[in-house]
Each structure stands twice: as C-alpha cells, then as structure tokens.
Amino acid sequence: MTVIYHGSDLPDDDRRPLLYGGDLFVFTPRPSTLELIRHAREMIEETFGEDPTRAQFGMPVEKFVQLGGPLKPAFIHHPRTKELIRDVVADLGCALEETYLDVPRLRLATSHGYLTAGVGYAFHPHRDTWYSAPMAQLNWWIPIYDFGPDAGMAFHPRYMHEPIRNGSAGFNYYRWNADGRKNAAQHIKADTRVQPKPEQEIELDPQIRIMGKAGSVLIFSAAHLHSTVPNTSGATRFSIDFRTVNLADIKNRVGARNLDSHCTGTSLRDFMRGTDLQRMPEEIVAMYDDGSASGGITVFTPEVHKMKDKAA
Ligand SMILES: [Fe+2]
C-alpha cells in the first residue's frame, strides 16, 4: 500500500519513517517554494526568453543544449539558490541542525524527444539508491511551471517492496564523479554514460503520477522506483530537485529497506548541514564507505575537472 499524504502537518520525525516505507508527501505551493521558483524562473527566462517552456520549438537542439548547459550549474551554485532551498526545508518542518542537504538540481524535460540525452536526460526506471545514495535519503521535487500528467514523473510502487535484478553492482560513485557527470553536456543525441538499470522486465503499471501546480512539493524515498514520464505535452518541463538526509537516521542506520542495491561508494559527502553548510562529518561518512575511493573522486565539483583538464 502506498499512502499519499496531502498537506500533512505531521512533524518531520513522524514523517520520515512513513517516507522510508514508501509513502509520498505532497504540499501545495507556499511562500517559501514560490520564492524559490521565482528565483529559478528569473534565471531560466534570462536564458530562454519569456516563454521558456516553448523555447525548444524556436531553435535547433544544439543551440538549446548550448544555452541549457551553463544554466544548470549557474542555478546550482547561485548563493541565493542554497538559501531558498534551506527556507523550503525549514518551512516544511525539518530541523536544520539535523538535516543535511545536497545541492539542488535544475532539470528540463523537453517535449517529443527533442532532447533526451545529457542535460535533458530522461531517466529510465531507477532507484536513486542504485546510484550510491544512502537508504535514508529523501528526494524533494518542485515543478517551476505548471505541467501536465504527460510531462512529470512516475512511481512504480509495487517495487518499493519487491527486489529487481539490476546493474547497480557495476556502479561506483567515485568513478561516476570522475567520468560520468562532467560529460553530461556532451551528450546530445544519445547518452552513453553507464547507468544502473533494471535487468528484468518492469511492470510500469499501475503507476502513480502526482500532479501539482508550479511551486508544489513532492517528497519521496530515494528507494522508490521512479522514472521520467516521456514528455508528450508540447512544452518543456522545468523542475528543481534536491535531496536531504537526517543525521540521527544516518547515525542509526535508519532508512528504507535495501532490497537490491549493490553499488559501491557513497554520496554522503555531498550533503551539507542546513544551518551552516558544513559537510557531513568524515567519521559518519566512514560508516558507509567501503574503501572504493581510490582512482575516483569522492565529491564532484566542476573545479576539480577544470584542474584535471588543465593538467591533461
Ligand atoms: Fe531519481
């Protein structure tokens, strides 16, 4: 059973166990999220003009990638973005002292297969935990413009309780940081990055699609099997997502049940404390580390690659 809590005022300590069990939490737009999307829209519209959801129809895909490529890191690293995300998390009842966040992502899903690789990658069914996310990770998803059910995200709830044969055993987070992510903008027609995928037939239906207005919030466990709905809406969908973990849960190894994730490395070093953006303490990371860091990069930053490129 998957319960969808709408506008719940349960405290975070009571909400997290439900999320780990596969329930979903949805909230209608509120001042903190509206402020966040106002900021995102400003940056998007500076890049794509005043009707960004239709910009794809007025330019070749190469141009779209050229514009969209720099927009994503600019949004991620904008100091105002981090502040606004923090406000959203606090507004929805998380104690910032205990809650660690990673940097937010800006996603764009173009319509009718215009761009499905690299910066516009349409995610096949996956659990984030196949990508070295901790089992206690929660994902937050916020649409920046109104969108339709043919442009969002789908959950495949059966698999919250059922293991899937998958390729996560071949995934190492540090290698991914070193090779996979920096090349996103180079993938225009096809995406050749190695990603953990199901290795069996997946029953995509029954599936759940949550429809919210721009500025609504959806929270779900990183262990949920989810996918990008192939966008046939006639408009590019723009959304923000980010991840949180609660320190006590990480320390106590509380989280979703691990049914089938066999990846190595951990993304825990990406998380920063809500109060002061201090990184996750190394002794906590060590609890989850498996010694697979050699030869890879433990934390992805564009600067590391600039240095590497210069050195090369
Ligand atoms: Fe995901």
In the reported structure, the alpha carbon of residue 42 is separated from the centroid of ligand 1 by a whole-number distance in angstroms of 25
Contact 222, 129 (CB under 8 A): yes
Least confident of 178-182, 237-241, 259-263, 302-306: 302-306
Number of H helices, E strands in the chain: 8, 10
In the reported structure, the alpha carbon of residue 310 is separated from the centroid of ligand 1 by a whole-number distance in angstroms of 32
In the reported structure, the alpha carbon of residue 239 is separated from the centroid of ligand 1 by a whole-number distance in angstroms of 13
Token pair for 197: 């995928």
Confidence of residue 161 (pLDDT cuts 50, 70, 90): very high
Ranges of beta strands (E only) in 144-187 are: 153-155
For residues 186-214, give the mean pLDDT: 84
Angle at CA of residue 80, ends 77 and 81, nearest 5°: 55
In the reported structure, the alpha carbon of residue 283 is separated from the centroid of ligand 1 by a whole-number distance in angstroms of 27
In the reported structure, the alpha carbon of residue 311 is separated from the centroid of ligand 1 by a whole-number distance in angstroms of 33
In the reported structure, the alpha carbon of residue 312 is separated from the centroid of ligand 1 by a whole-number distance in angstroms of 32
Least confident of 8-12, 50-54, 291-295: 291-295
- Cβ neighbours of 250 (radius 10 Å): 24
Report whether pLDDT(157) > 60.
yes
For residues 202-216, give the mean pLDDT: 95
- pLDDT above 70 covers a percentage of the chain that reads 88
In the reported structure, the alpha carbon of residue 128 is separated from the centroid of ligand 1 by a whole-number distance in angstroms of 5
Render pLDDT for 56-114 as a digit per residue (tens, 0 to 9): 999 999 999 999 999 999 999 999 999 999 999 999 999 999 999 999 999 988 888 87
Angular region, 132: left φ>0, alpha ψ -120 to 50, beta rest:
left
Render pLDDT for 105-124 as a digit per residue (tens, 0 to 9): 999 888 888 776 665 555 68
Q: What is the DSSP letter of 156?
A: -
In angstroms, the Cα distances linking 241 to 72, 81, 193, 264 are 12, 12, 21, 23
Render pLDDT for 255-311 as a digit per residue (tens, 0 to 9): 999 999 999 999 999 999 999 999 999 999 999 988 777 667 788 765 544 443 333
Phi and psi at 72, nearest 5°, equal -60, -55
In the reported structure, the alpha carbon of residue 105 is separated from the centroid of ligand 1 by a whole-number distance in angstroms of 11
Residue 139 CB-half CA count within 13 A: 24
Residue 116 CB-half CA count within 13 A: 14
For residues 194-220, give the mean pLDDT: 94
In the reported structure, the alpha carbon of residue 63 is separated from the centroid of ligand 1 by a whole-number distance in angstroms of 26
Contact 154, 209 (CB under 8 A): yes
Least confident of 107-116, 176-185, 230-239: 176-185
For residues 137-157, give the mean pLDDT: 94
Distance of CA 65 to the CA centre of its chain: 20
In the reported structure, the alpha carbon of residue 127 is separated from the centroid of ligand 1 by a whole-number distance in angstroms of 6
Query: Within 78-172, where are the H helices?
Result: 79-91
Domains and CATH numbers, the chain: 4-311 (2.60.120)
Strands 105-109 and 4-6: unpaired
The whole-angstrom separation of Cα 66 and Cα 300 is 22
In the reported structure, the alpha carbon of residue 234 is separated from the centroid of ligand 1 by a whole-number distance in angstroms of 23
In the reported structure, the alpha carbon of residue 135 is separated from the centroid of ligand 1 by a whole-number distance in angstroms of 13
In the reported structure, the alpha carbon of residue 11 is separated from the centroid of ligand 1 by a whole-number distance in angstroms of 25
The whole-angstrom separation of Cα 6 and Cα 219 is 11
For residues 241-268, give the mean pLDDT: 97
Q: Alpha-carbon torsion 85, 116, 151, 70, what sign?
A: positive
Token pair for 221: 């466990």
Q: What is the pTM of this model?
A: 0.91
Nearest in space to 278 (alpha carbons), one of 78, 81, 91, 98:
98
The whole-angstrom separation of Cα 186 and Cα 188 is 6
In the reported structure, the alpha carbon of residue 153 is separated from the centroid of ligand 1 by a whole-number distance in angstroms of 9
